[in-house]
Amino acid sequence: MPLVSATPEPHDPPWKPLSLEEFIELLKEEEDYWLREEHNTLIQITRLRKIFYDKGGWDEQVIRQATNIEGRYEVILVDGDEDDVKTNKNDGKENINKPKKYYGKRYTKEMERVLRGRQLRTINTTDVPYANALYRPQYRKVVYRKTDRVFPERAGKLAYIYEDDHQEVLIPPGGQYNYAYVSDIGHILTGCDASNYPDTVGLLPGRQNILRLGPHVTSNMDMSTWLGDIASASAAFLFTYFEKKDTLTIPEMQVVIDEFVPGTDMMGNIDAYVIASHYDISLRQGMRFTEILTDYYIGKEYDPPLRNSRYRLFCEAIGLKDWDGANFSNEAAWLKYYEKELLAATCFLYKSLTDNACANFFTAIRMYYFKAYKDELKIQLLLTTLLGELKKALQKEIPILVKPDIKQ
């Protein structure tokens, strides 16, 4: 389970990620679009997040309290196979011959990942769900509105900031890394936005999850970042098991982990926690988000920049305590807590991202309360793997004194 990657996720065709400076300039243009609100940190984070993650479960469940904050662009969900998506056409045909991972040049990878379960359309299901499944991808398309204040003539055209997975940004060397690496800034935005609107995520509709009945994830920030990504891998283990009708081998599990929990995403997840806990991201008159990013990666208010201590600060933020250079004092308790949280997150993905919601609700209940598919979900394995990777990173991280928070 890599925590860092020097290259972006696989794309077809491949392309070079934008530099941090280039991407920040694009974000500044988005901030400038909202006149007299450039320093409304709280709202701007939501608007920027919605460029990359909007609609579907994001509004209905994960960051529900920000649903009514309108972004600049129109978000369209596009059904279709590889060729349909490229040509913006969809004949409605099911497709089982196309590869199951396609990163369209102008469409984000994330909708396919988030809705992976819905791609598996069940037919003639007997004892094994998805034994006979058809593949159907769904993608998110982000276009200019007719009412765009700056570029109304671009109505219906794709937003450049969204094309080609531009959210995967090349970060300059620093800290323990003497090479440039890639971070998914979209994941930073989702984590920060969820931090501003804390909520519970569960199997029940909308606000009912605040009752915390049945399987539920206590923190929507966890769900929208690292825990949700790892749950995607756990759910993928299960879907692959259904397709194979056999237990996955270690190499097969590694392929799934590399796909669903890539280092680019984990880096963004980790940075989200450090930023949310050390900058005041909930102000309505505060720093621009682009100023926060610049300070976090390059340094000004914090010197050296906070990213140099990201692993220590992330571990503190998720509840790991008293690092002694080899172990944390509360590892057993932390694992016990997050095993339940990760199982709930996996149940949420399974139930909400597959067809036949009623039947799958009861399957999710069986998974949570009666340990159904316990061996296939690999909950404990995924968490201990993450913990091991964090320990390795911490052992290489040079301790630095962090100045008092700049929260206002």
DSSP-based three-state secondary structure for 232 = helix
Segment 248-263 mean pLDDT = 92
pLDDT of 59 reads: 85
Structure tokens given for 314: 């992330």
Strand 138-143 to 74-79 pairing: antiparallel
Segment 370-395 mean pLDDT = 97
Integer CA distances (angstroms), 260 to 63, 88, 132, 242, 253, in order: 21, 26, 23, 18, 11
pLDDT of 73 reads: 97
What digits encode the pLDDT tens for the residues 306-360? 999 999 999 999 999 999 999 999 999 999 999 999 999 999 988 876 666 677 8
What digits encode the pLDDT tens for the residues 86-123? 333 333 333 333 333 333 334 444 444 333 433 443 33
pLDDT of 120 reads: 40
pLDDT of 112 reads: 42
H helix or E strand, kind and range, residue 111: helix 110-114
Chain-wide mean pLDDT for the chain?
Answer: 84
What digits encode the pLDDT tens for the residues 202-212? 988 877 878 88
What digits encode the pLDDT tens for the residues 16-39? 899 999 999 999 999 999 999 999
pLDDT of 165 reads: 83
Are 183 and 268 contacting, i.e. CB atoms less than 8 angstroms apart? yes
Are 293 and 169 contacting, i.e. CB atoms less than 8 angstroms apart? no
pLDDT of 95 reads: 35
Among 290-294, 338-342, 401-405, name the one with the lowest average pLDDT: 401-405
pLDDT of 292 reads: 97
List residues bridging with 139 in a β-sheet: 78
- H helices within 211-321, ranges in order? 220-224, 226-244, 250-260, 263-278, 289-297, 310-317
Structure tokens given for 182: 């890639």
Cα separation, 349 vs 61, whole angstroms: 11
The span from the first CA to the last CA of the chain, in angstroms, equals 36
Are 88 and 158 contacting, i.e. CB atoms less than 8 angstroms apart? no
pLDDT of 57 reads: 81
pLDDT of 404 reads: 55
**Can you give the pTM of this predicted structure?**
0.88
Structure tokens given for 388: 């091991």
Cα separation, 364 vs 383, whole angstroms: 20
pLDDT of 401 reads: 62
Residue 42 has pLDDT above 60, yes or no: yes
pLDDT of 392 reads: 97
